[in-house]
Structures are given as structure tokens and as C-alpha cells.
Structure 1
């Protein structure tokens, strides 16, 4: 910390931890731009001093602040930098950074990348000792990522598990996130026409907002007290108490900064816009609501975009009565959210599948290399392949890889070179696959990749592997050496429910067509960044 102009090392964290605390406080106070600027100012100092702990915290604060500002791509970049600074056993930082990749990717519309990162983050949290500061911090990050993909029940469960902490400030942060979660959940349900369910969540929002205010007073955080009062006002508005809601909002409005990235700013506009509508000041109501919609759009808050559009429709009704334009406003408000909500079950199932595959892969360590691992390449073996296929709750896609003319490599360059070729192919496969994919050495020069059932993704993985092996610098191993592969892609379909059989047939087709190519399914469209490995450190080298 900094005292009397002197830098004093802090043992538990980094020697420049005070700097990261200052930057993070800007974020907590709602000044995301200031937080980003502070983080970028202090990072060179932490890097030069070798203070890795502070550097990662600064990068994390930068990432969450960038996301609040709607700069989601930059937020992903900052999170990836954290991952590049974290080893495979840095579970806390991997979980937090991957959760940020997931949340920012969701707001960018990159659902596949988001789910892959979220599954890996969830797995990393499970390796952190329960009750530790790191576990609390990482669990909160994962909970917010779950909220971003509208898995509200699971996010709520994760956050509620953290309420036992003794530190009042940390509990205040947890309760604040729980309050925002309840409000977002309530709004989503209301837009979907589930009125009674929405009322339950608005009551929960009210209860949590009061808890937030109590903790704000306990921790001497007047701005957080005021923000809690804004949540209270919004809940009261939706529980049929507009006059009381307006009174609470007006009482709080001068005690926190109305930053556009704060949800509380949007809530204040929604409450006061309703009052303006009731008073017949329709232009003022529209001005407030358009600002709310613009800021919610910039921050990727789709439920709140819908809420603002719905409120705009209500202004039209109040001024002109029901018109065709009103129906258009309401359709706009609900259509995007209805699509996201309809995909919730699929996202949860995808997370379960990825976690299931990840746990099966972890059996390699638990049961020992002899049982499930190929000793030459370190990949899984046929036992792991069979166990995965038999235990998977859903069909899987298979990418079947065969090294072209591998016997010639052994004959011309020696079996030692052939073994090294197989080891390097294994490294390429790890680099080109996601952490949840299962990679096995099927036979002498044959490899298989199992992925969650997705035709487009399976073909994309196959083409990426094909290019990477073809472009690998093989002549660095032996002058004149070239290595190519033939690949077949198979999924369960009407002709066979066995993806291995389908992939084997496709592989034969590739070989008969001249080798060095991919067969099976249609060619993938232009590369989708969501299909790429989420980040380099996800590779299982």
C-alpha cells in the first residue's frame, strides 16, 4: 500500500496492490472510463516490477470496465492477456478471465465461444478451495457470466452461496449483483408475459435492494445506498406504487453519479419517464426512454432494451390510445428477448455436455496413464474413446484423421522420426481443439476428435486441423519431410446412428479422392470466430 509517500509491500497480494485497489474503486463508484485509464497507467509499473498479482488484477478491472462501456472486443483482449500470464494451475485467474471472455462474447453475440469459455471457467472454479477469497471472487465472475447467457437460476444459486462471507464490503458487492440479477430476471419475465412470475422477482428485487441499503450504511458507502434506493424505486413502480417509487428515486438521484454504464441510471430514467407520462409530459418521457434504450443497447443489455421499448409503447398508448404503431413497438421489445429465452434450455444442455466431456477427460489423470492415455502422444486411447461415447448423454460428432503414406515416413526417415511426427500431430490437434473436445490416438497413425454434436463445428475443426498439419514446418524435423492427412467427418444421421462408422466412410472417401483433404458433411462457411479455440491457454499441451 502507499503511506506517507512510501511504497510498502503487501504480503497477501502484490507490492503495488494499492494501485489496483484505486483503479477498482473507480469501477465500483461507476466511473468505468476512469478505471480503464487508471489500469492502463499502472500496468507498466506492475509489469516492470514483476508484480504479476497486481498486473492481473489491473487487467481484470480493465476488462470489466471495458465491458460496462460496451467495448466488448477490448474486454475480451484484456481477459486473454490475463490468460497469457496465467499457468494451467492458476485456477482463480483462469476462471475469472474465462468468465470475462464468456460474458463479453455473449454481448457480442458469439454464443459458441461464450459457452466454451464459461464451461472451462466453471471447471476452473471447482479446483479452487471453497471459502477462500479466490473462490469467492472466481465464483462471482462465473455467476455474472451465467447471468449474461440468461441462466438466471444458476447464477442466483452461485451468488447466494457467497452470502456467508464475513466481510461486509464483499457481501455488499454480492447483494448488489443479486439485486441486479433479480431486476433483470423480473423484466425478462414481464416482457414474456409471465406476469405472476415477474411479480415474484420484483418482490425479490425489493427485498434485496433494502439489504443492499443496509450494507451500504454499514460499510459507509452512501453512493451504494443511493443505488439500492433506485432499485427499490424500480421495484415499487412495477409493484403498483408509482408515487412512492418516484419519491424514492428523486431522493436518491443526487447521491450517485448517473453514468451511462450504470444500470441504476437506466432505472432512474424508467421511473421518472413513467411519472412524466402520468403528468402528460410525453416528450420528456420519450426523451428519457430513448436515452435508456440507447445506453442499454451500447452495453448489450437486451432485456433492458426491451423494457425501454415497451415503456415507449406505453407512452404512445397514453397519448394516442392503441394504434398499429404500438403493436410494432411491443413486437420490437419482445422479439429479441423471446429468441434468447427460447435458447436457454439449449445453452444449459450445451454447458452440461461440455462439463460431462471435461470430466471424462479428467479421468485420464484420475485413473492413470496406462488405463486411458496413449503413452507415445499423451492423448487419450481407445478406452477413453469408448468410455466417452458410451457415457455421453447426447450424440457426438467424430473427426477421423489418418496420416497419408505414414509407412513411407518410417521407411525413408526411420521409426524415431515417425514417432516424432505422431507426437507433433498430437500437439497440433491440442492447439486446434477446444478444451472440452476429446482427442484420442485410435491406432498407429489414426486419430479421432470427439466434439459436442454440431455439424458445422465438426467440419470447421476438421478443416482447421487439415490446414495446420499441412502448414506445419516439417522440414525442421527432417529436410524434405512433408506430412499431410486425410480426414473424415461423421455425425449420427438417417443412414447410421454410429458417428464412428459415418466418419470412417468419409475418411475412405477422402483417401480414394487423392488424400490430403477433408470429406464428410458440406464444406464449412467462412471461418466463424466462435468456432476457434476461445484462447490460446485453453490448449491442453
Structure 2
């Protein structure tokens, strides 16, 4: 007996989600080189199995690892690949836009990055604000804002992200809290550079408290412990810094975890300088600078080198260098104001684009079912291309349904059919109601796969318990399918699909007619 059950558990990340989630687990924990190896395996397996959704999630994890390793051009290639193929829901698309924005910011393409931030914010304004998708998207938006030095926005967004997810022990929430604490430390270091010492100290205290909470719970997170070492250095706990550096630094360097090693070098340098070993502190800051992959990171360590040089080699020349660097840092800090203005302008443009899109959608939508209407059908027919298929669908004896059960029941039947058609559309496909009981689907596949989709829809309709709408109600579909040939006009494609639809009706209904 044929079973209709799926062979694996359903997951929003794809049927073989464990493969991709392992990739993300590794990169959350800072094991970026291992992440790339795991991504190679996951993408090969999911490609072989045809699980494109899980492969997409794995590609996203690969992008994070590449970005963390400073391989930004490779990361951007994946980001552009993912953002060009929106798969929905809104929060997922927003997350990918925010991730793309972060990579663009790191590459110095600030205008492009802020545009993607604005697009992500616009999508998240109307997305459900609970659950893992929203949470993950907001965490990515935080990182994008942080990469543009928009720390206030990053902090606000991360608070919303953490409040959106109920479980305090979830791996993703934990990873986001660690990133939040690290962001506070970076923000504090930047505030110190522009003389806002009290604000910086408050942020450091918050970061240390949060990081200690997770470390005390036994969390295996190199990034968390490395960030904690920086917090200890800023709060004068130098013995703890020396202990953590001794335990972890060589391991981090040997395993290729450059971000974590960079933080440990920074913490070591700060503590060495505070305890009077200026030459050793200078070596640590140099080592941290050598591991930097971003211009903002290098600037931070050069500033610490300049401060150290003034202490090690006091004199007017060194003081002049430091003052010059402080002026440069101050000017960069002021650029944040320009970026906030640019972001507001970008957000307004995105709002206007969304409003136009909504208006266009309303003009091409069927009021009863929410599917496309005859206007959309005509537009798609005018632009039909080879490689896709047109499926025409009629509800069998729909007039009898209206006459026997009422037009209200008929409307509910049309709504149910529309929902099922919509659920079988991928992001580049569309379902349309272009007549009373007449539907169409523009599918992006060739005829064999399109026929499988059509048969699946027909069986779902047939198996539906229509008695829940009206006792004795039975609904079936007749379908005609034609694949678009190269150079074929839309009218000719329609005529072939329509002829097959009538073949299905003459042959007894409740069936698909194809080539």
C-alpha cells in the first residue's frame, strides 16, 4: 500500500536540517575552519538528495565562516547568490539581506550595505515578531548595524531579538547573547577613544556580567571566553587575563580561530600595559593587528599601539602621533551621524518601493482567493519563456456545487483550492484565478516535473475531507498541462494547455491531460 507520509520529519530548514544546523553550530562556537569542512559535506549530500532548502541553510553557514576568516569576496558571492533567490518567509529573506549588508559594509560599500539594512528593516516591520526566524533575522540585522558603527541601532535590535525567543537555553539565543556582549565591548573601546569613559565603563561591566554567566554554565564557546578576557583586562582583573591567555591563545592560533586569538592578544596587551610591561604589550598589539581582517579592527589596534608608544617613548613626537590618530578616530566617529541620515533616507526609499509594490499587487490580485487575477495572467502570458510550463485547472461541475450547497460553500471551495495551489508554488512561480472556477499555474519546471506537481495537487484535492465544509460535498479537478517551447508565443502555449484541459474533461474529469 502506497504511503503518503513524508520519509523524514518536516522542518522549516529542510528535511535534512541536522546537516545544516551542524554547520551553524560550529560557526556559532567559533570553529570556522571546521565549519567549511562540514559545509562541504552538507552541501554535497543535500545536493545529491535534492534538498535545496537545507543546502541553502548550509550555504549561509559557510558565508558566516568565510566572513569571520576575512574571505569577504567569497562571502559576498554566496550572499548575492542567496539574496537573488528569495525563498520566504519574510524574516528569512530579511536575515539574508542583513547578512549581505554586513559583508558589504566590511568591504567598504557603505551605501549598498545601508540599502540592504533598510530593506531588511522594512521586511521585519511586517514579519511575525516571535520564533526562531524572527530572532535569527534580528541578530543578523544587529551585526549589520554594528559593522556600520551604528551601535545604538545594533543594541536596540539585539534586545528585540532576545525578547522574541522564549527559551533561555537555545543555542541560537546563547550565540546571540555572546555576540551582544562582544558588541558592547567593541562599543566601549570606541567610546574610550573619543573620551566617553563613563559610558564605556558601564558597557564593559554589562558585558563581563553576561559573559561570566554563560562561562559559569559551562558553555563551550571560544569567542565567549576570549571576549571575557578583554572584559577582564578593562576591569583590572589581570591575573585572570594571564590565566586565560595561557590556557587558550596557542590553541586558538593553532586551530586557525583568528578572531578569538585576536581578542586574546588584545586582552593580553591591555593587561601587560597596565602592569608596566610596555614592550611585551606592544608585541601583543602587533600580533593582534596581524590577525585583523577588517580596517576597523586594524585601526583599533593601531590606536592601542599609539597609546603604548607614548608611555614607552614619552616625548612630543609620540604625543603628536597619538593626537593625530585621535583626530582621525573622532572624525570617523562623527561619520556615524551621516550614516544614520543615509539609513533613514534609504528606509524611506524602501518604504515607497514597498508601497508601489503593494499597489501593483492589489491591482493584479483576485479579491476572493488572494491569487493573481486575469490582469496578472495576461501579463505573464505576454512574457512567457521556454523552460517553464502552464497548468490550466477547472473545478469539475462547480455550478452543481453552487446550486446544491450555496454560493457561500462554492466560495469556500475556491478559497481552499487557492490555498493548496499557493502551497505548491515556489518563489518564482505563480497561481492565478482568471475565471469563476478556472485557475492557472505558471510553473518554472519542464513537463515531467510539472506533471508530478499537478498530480500531487489533484490527489490532495481528492483526499480532502470536504464534509467539514458541507456534508456530502465532493470536489475534483480537471487539468491540462503544456510546456513552453523555445520561441513559442503565449497564445499558442495557452491553446495547447486548453486543448488538453478539454481532453481531461471529455475523458471523465478528475484527471490530468499532458503530452
Q: TM-score range by the shorter chain?
A: 0.5 to 0.7
Question: Which of 324, 327, 333 does residue 331 from structure 1 map onto?
Answer: 324
In structure 2, C-alpha distance between the alignment counterparts of 1:358 and 1:85, rounded to whole Å: 19
The DSSP-based 3-state class of the residue aligned with 2:211 is: helix
Residue equivalent to 2:244: 249
Residue equivalent to 2:97: 98
**1:17: how far off?**
1.6
User: Which of 1 and 2 has greater Rg?
Assistant: 2
Structure 2 residues not aligned, in runs of 5+: 1-5, 366-378, 384-486, 489-515
TM-score (normalizing by structure 2): 0.63
- Counterpart contact for 2:29–2:223, Cα < 8 Å: no
In structure 1, C-alpha distance between the alignment counterparts of 2:28 and 2:361, rounded to whole Å: 47
In structure 2, C-alpha distance between the alignment counterparts of 1:125 and 1:256, rounded to whole Å: 40
In structure 2, C-alpha distance between the alignment counterparts of 1:10 and 1:313, rounded to whole Å: 57
Structure 1 residues not aligned, in runs of 5+: 1-6, 374-419, 425-475, 478-541
**1:192: how far off?**
1.4
**1:343: how far off?**
1.9
Query: What is the number of equivalent residue pairs in this alignment?
Result: 362
Alignment of 1:433-472 (within 5 A): none
Q: 1:196 to 1:276 in 2, by over 3 A?
A: closer
**1:116: how far off?**
1.3
Alignment of 1:372-391 (within 5 A): none
Deviations for 1:238-276, whole angstroms, at most 9, x for unmatched residues?
23x253553563476379735665544223212322343
Deviations for 1:411-440, whole angstroms, at most 9, x for unmatched residues?
xxxxxxxxx9xx99xxxxxxxxxxxxxxxx
The DSSP-based 3-state class of the residue aligned with 1:92 is: helix
**1:227: how far off?**
4.5
- Counterpart contact for 2:234–2:270, Cα < 8 Å: no
Residue equivalent to 1:360: 352
Residue equivalent to 2:203: 201
In structure 2, C-alpha distance between the alignment counterparts of 1:229 and 1:35, rounded to whole Å: 19
**1:182: how far off?**
0.4
2:313 is aligned with 1:314: no
**1:153: how far off?**
0.9
In structure 1, C-alpha distance between the alignment counterparts of 2:243 and 2:295, rounded to whole Å: 24
In structure 2, C-alpha distance between the alignment counterparts of 1:32 and 1:334, rounded to whole Å: 36
TM-score (normalizing by structure 1): 0.60
**1:286: how far off?**
2.3
Residue equivalent to 2:61: 61
Deviations for 1:282-340, whole angstroms, at most 9, x for unmatched residues?
443222111111222x1x161x43332232223323332234135325634662x4343
Q: 1:90 to 1:47 in 2, by over 3 A?
A: farther
Residue equivalent to 1:234: 230
Deviations for 1:10-68, whole angstroms, at most 9, x for unmatched residues?
31132322221222232123221221232133323312322122111111011111110
Q: 1:27 to 1:228 in 2, by over 3 A?
A: closer
Q: 1:60 to 1:119 in 2, by over 3 A?
A: same
- Counterpart contact for 1:20–1:58, Cα < 8 Å: yes
In structure 2, C-alpha distance between the alignment counterparts of 1:106 and 1:321, rounded to whole Å: 37
Residue equivalent to 1:4: none
Residue equivalent to 2:123: 124
Q: 1:347 to 1:315 in 2, by over 3 A?
A: closer
